[in-house]
Amino acid sequence: MNDVSDYDLGNCLDKQFDLIRHAFEAGDEHQFEQAVLRVVNVRRCKSNGTLDWLRPCEDGD
């Protein structure tokens, strides 16, 4: 699940849930904490508008 970009993660609640669920199921406290922090950070970026800065460029841009 680490192959998901922050932009995609911030725009998909299912991907956020999957990231946290997989980390929880792994049973590694550090991995779980990192997953939760990553989701919190991308959600914060989305709410303040900075997540759009990570939007992939389309051809011609």
Both tokens of 46, joined, read: 């989305």
**HSE-up (13 A, CA, CB side) for residue 25:** 6
**Are residues 51 and 45 in contact, defined by beta-carbon separation less than 8 angstroms?**
yes
- Give the global pTM: 0.84
**Are residues 8 and 55 in contact, defined by beta-carbon separation less than 8 angstroms?**
no
Both tokens of 24, joined, read: 């929880």
Both tokens of 50, joined, read: 């900075």
pLDDT digit of tens for each residue in the chain (61 aa)?
Answer: 568 999 999 999 999 999 999 999 999 999 999 999 999 999 999 999 999 888 888 765 5
Integer Cα distance of 7 and 55 in angstroms: 6
